[in-house]
Amino acid sequence: MPAPELTEHELRSETVYAGGFLQVRRDLVRLPDGQQAAREYIVHPGAVMIVPLLDNGRLLLERQFRYPLRRVMLEFPAGKLDPGEEPLLCARRELREETGYRAREWAHAGVLHNAIAYSTEGIEIFFARGLQAGERDLDEGEFLELCELSPAELDLACARGEVTDAKTLIGLQWLQRWQAGAWPLHWSGDVGG
């Protein structure tokens, strides 16, 4: 039995909101059965997330107030890509700016699409090890607190529902699968700083 055609085809597209960071678009599409439907979604520039592995076996995380949820969230360091920026360069920049750390080795794990029904955002997942402390350089208006947790402590926080951030949950899963030998990481030295 042949697989059904699932692709929707854009007929018309309009920007309904353009902010400094995000765009909201409304498209008219033709469905596989020939009918038409509207699709509203957010255009996001993309982002990175870093799973920083400290030499003592602990993980470096951040506590940060996230306005849309009106609460402090526990999460791995992350940030959006600047126009034309390579994901590894963004990961190095975000780690340094938010935590003050630089890493001797990096591994790209993969990409996470955390809101596929209404956003184009893709978050490139990186692991960093051989961390060397330095000074943070937070963006204006950025306030966060660094904390260290063991993988087991983070796992318990997730199990208790204290961590609900999708990228952090996926980062922990990727870490656990890598530590179990199931999902390989390919490490390379950081020659760019």
Encoding tokens for residue 184? Answer: 């390989």
Q: Any catalytic annotation for residue 8?
A: no
Residue 35's SS3 state is: coil
Encoding tokens for residue 89? Answer: 């360069």
State the Cα–Cα distance between residues 142 and 56, nearest whole angstrom. 27
Beta carbons within 8 Å of 175's beta carbon, 6+ residues apart: 51, 59, 127, 151
Catalytic residue among 5, 14, 135, 140: 140
Largest Cα span, the chain? 60
Residue 68's SS3 state is: helix
Contact 12, 27 (CB under 8 A): yes
| Bridge partner residues of 90 (DSSP) | none
Provide the 8-state DSSP code for 45.
-
Q: Which residues are catalytic?
A: 140
